[in-house]
Amino acid sequence: MKKKKSLWKKKKTSPTGFFLNFALSVLSYIIPKNKKKILLGADKGLKFMGNPRCFYLFLLKNKTYFERVFWITADKKIYSYLKEKKFPVLYLYSWDGFIAILRANYLITSHSSWDVSYLRILFGRFNKIETFHATPMKQMFESFHDRKTLISKIKFPLMIKELKSYKLLVATSEESKKIFETHYKNVKILGYPRNDVFFNHDLMIEDYKEKFNLDKYDKVILYCPTLRDTPPSKVPFTDDFLDNLNDYLKENNYLYLIKGHYWGKSNVNMKNRSNIIDVSKNVSDIQDLLIYTDILITDYSSVLFDFVLLDKPIILYPYDFEEFLENRSMYYDYYQDLPGPFAKNEADLFGLIKAIDSVFNNKEYKERYQKFKDRFNFYKDGKSCERLYEYLLKIGKTSTIQ
């Protein structure tokens, strides 16, 4: 049987990357650190998003101990964008960027060392802080571990060793902490900085209400699927379903937005429909869009762990559940541990969209929803940036790295 092509968008390693990270590792034992300097990046240096983004904006908007705060990126469009906003930014492939990696007292990432350097793995004398990019629902690193190539057999153990070198990993709850502690040494429940944007809109970078003219609509529904390791055998929506849904949306003045995973695509057959719009290419950070979302529809995405902090309705649509589990296992019992409601097919989904208000206001469901929210979010106060800041100050005073 022909193997399905992976949906993951990969940033390729290069000889230059190996050389530069090797040089960083050696020089890190020679070049002194600037205690008041922080360097932040996200998703292999190709995105301005996530926990590092919100913490970066928090540091810029608050006069803090850290006087030298920089975003580092390998994307020239992001570099130009931040330059235009007069935000402190460095281009990764520049002398200033290279030196900044060595001089920064803290390197703040969302995925791996690749966010702020030239490869996934960076050994040396660095204070690396992993804020991570999701509350784990699916097994972490499973797709890497299963690869049987010689390179993978060498790289995977090195990657696991590198995870142990992080000074801190940020978690949201005891549940996620237990999972992270299987790979990281120091895990602290501080809450995700990106969720502070729900409580403090000053941390937004883009106003999607204005961009998409969302005030026109009585409700905004967002479909936000997770990334599949391989293409599913069926699409989430048929054309007939989308046509019928669009008619319903028009009648009720609702808008249906589709946002695919930032490493993939939405896998929806799109055509010109008035009230169904694919915004995958127009949304750089979904957290800013969640603020204006009235109903979230997702499948196995960690976005639901964040969205419940807004106390708004969710619908879980695992249309390819069995097939998905063939490629990736989960930490939890999907139908027992998640709050629901669950739509297993298009008919279920249409019915739940129509009835979501009554479902969400049901007393028994509200208790289940709140239990889920409390289980996976220890903090619900919008002060995760402050906690991370205070923690960095604390370990800075006791760190042997100078």
| Co-location of 292 and 316 in the same domain | yes
Distance CA 48, CA 183 (A): 26
| Co-location of 120 and 50 in the same domain | yes
Tell me the CATH number at 130: 3.40.50.11820
Distance CA 110, CA 12 (A): 18
| Co-location of 388 and 364 in the same domain | no
| Co-location of 182 and 225 in the same domain | no
pLDDT in single tens digits along all 402 residues of the chain: 344 444 444 556 678 888 999 999 999 999 999 999 999 999 999 999 999 999 999 999 986 899 999 999 999 999 999 999 999 999 999 999 999 999 999 999 999 999 999 999 999 999 999 999 999 998 876 554 444 554 455 566 787 888 899 999 999 999 999 999 999 999 999 999 999 999 999 999 999 999 999 999 999 999 999 887 777 778 889 999 999 999 999 999 999 999 987 655 555 656 779 999 999 889 989 999 999 999 999 999 999 999 999 999 999 999 999 998 888 889 999 999 999 999 999 999 999 999 999 999 999 999 999 999 999 999 999 999 999 999 999 887 665 443
| Co-location of 249 and 157 in the same domain | no
Tell me the CATH number at 227: 3.40.50.12580
Helix axes 239-252, 346-360, angle to 10 degrees: 30
| Co-location of 191 and 53 in the same domain | yes
Number of domains making up the chain: 2
The SS3 of residue 146 is coil
CA nearest neighbour of 116 among 53, 179, 64, 43 = 43
For residue 149, the enclosing domain spans 16-200+382-398
DSSP one-letter string for 268-301: ------TTEEE-TTT-S-HHHHHTT-SEEEESS-
Token duo for residue 285:
């950070």
Alpha carbon dihedral 193, 194, 198, 201, in 10-degree steps, equals: 90
Q: Give the single-character DSSP code of 230.
A: S
| Co-location of 157 and 268 in the same domain | no
Q: Whole-model pTM?
A: 0.91
| Co-location of 104 and 179 in the same domain | yes
Long-range contacts at 56-63 (CB < 8 A, ≥ 24 apart): 56/108, 57/202, 57/203, 57/205, 58/193, 58/196, 58/203, 58/385, 58/386, 58/389, 59/389, 60/87, 60/88, 61/202, 61/203, 62/389
| Co-location of 254 and 223 in the same domain | yes
| Co-location of 22 and 168 in the same domain | yes
Q: Does 67 map to a domain?
A: yes
- The strand ranges marked E within 53-207 are 68-73, 89-91, 104-109, 128-130, 168-171, 187-189
| Co-location of 191 and 219 in the same domain | no
| Co-location of 241 and 338 in the same domain | yes
